[in-house]
Amino acid sequence: MLRFSIDRLLATVPVLLGVSIVVFLTMKMIPGDAAQVLAGPQATQEQVALIRQSLGLDRPLYVQYATWLSRAMRGNLGRSIQLEAPVTDMVLNRLRNTLILAVAASVLAVAIGVPAGIFSATHKSSIIDRASMVVALFGNSMPTFWLGLVFILVFSLHFRLFPSNGMYSLRGPGGLPDLLWHLTLPALTLAGVPAAVLARLTRSNLLETLTDDYVRTARAKGLREPRVVARHALGNALLPVVTLMGIQVGYLLGGSILVETVFSWPGLGLQLYDAIGARDLPLVQGGVLLAATIFVLINLCVDLSYGVLDPRIRYSA
């Protein structure tokens, strides 16, 4: 297991380097004079020259990258143009709120998707199976931001059950209950697509596993069906689901920008949205770099957990 973990860790390093190169290169794609763009339209010649020099834009590309990377690794992602504050502090401040949303959505997606998939597989072709697969198919094509708006229309504006924006009430009690109350709609919205994907995958995997020889053996020795499913089939059927969950976390990080925008949830996504509107490029790049890094690290954790769950992976890798 140690060997496997070290291999995986080492394999992550070039990916992270590649991610940093891509983010760096997207910054270099600014049309025209980058210093001019960063300084804004009202900047004087001296200010532009100052920015060009302070960013090292007059030096060769690989030198610029090395300088940028070494700063980034020390936690210096530059300064936000709009708010004149260090990007690192700004994105890290907002990250916590995005993680709250993403974790809640992951929990909901698993809590909805996996049982729905299991039920569908064990009650194949029943009405509930068909209905949940139709819902899952819908969930696959659903624009997240639209689902959020529909939730706001129905649960917030019509039934007045949940708030439509923010994280805490302005003059409310605050604390955990208030947070959960505000969290419900955004988390449900964000969980929609992953729940649908998980349900479909769980169903098809479990259906396949249920035809395996060892499941037949378990049935032949007289075990009751729930025990066959729970003890024998489910463990093996859920392995790919773990991997998929890792991929879905990437979706959640990406999807959170849409959901946070719809619900004004004060996370990294809403910050990125505001930064796009203000053409605050250092902030956009910093946020994207942070999110991509987290995504890579989460996938590393998924890989490692895969090694724990299925010992065969450790030896074949």
For another protein, the binding residues (CB under 8 A) are 14-16, 18-19, 21-23, 26-27, 29-31, 137-138, 140-146, 149-150, 152-153, 157, 204, 250-251, 253-255, 257-258, 261-262, 272-273, 275-277, 279, 281, 284-285, 288, 291-292, 295-296, 299
Distance of CA 33 to the CA centre of its chain: 33
Residue the block writes with tokens 């995958």: 201
In the complex, minimum distance from the CB of residue 66 to another protein, in angstroms, rounded to a whole number: 18
80 vs 228, which CB is nearer to another protein? 80
191 vs 284, which CB is nearer to another protein? 284
218 vs 245, which CB is nearer to another protein? 245
Contact 244, 238 (CB under 8 A): no
Q: How far apart are the first and last CA of the chain?
A: 11
In the complex, minimum distance from the CB of residue 20 to another protein, in angstroms, rounded to a whole number: 9
- Among 25, 221, 186, 36, CA closest to 100: 186
In the complex, minimum distance from the CB of residue 223 to another protein, in angstroms, rounded to a whole number: 28
43 vs 133, which CB is nearer to another protein? 133
In the complex, minimum distance from the CB of residue 220 to another protein, in angstroms, rounded to a whole number: 27
In the complex, minimum distance from the CB of residue 89 to another protein, in angstroms, rounded to a whole number: 20
- Long-range CB contacts for residues 24-28, cutoff 8 Å, separation at least 24: 24/64, 24/65, 24/68, 24/69, 26/285, 26/288, 27/281, 27/285, 28/61
99 vs 142, which CB is nearer to another protein? 142
**How many whole angstroms separate alpha carbon 262 and alpha carbon 265?**
8
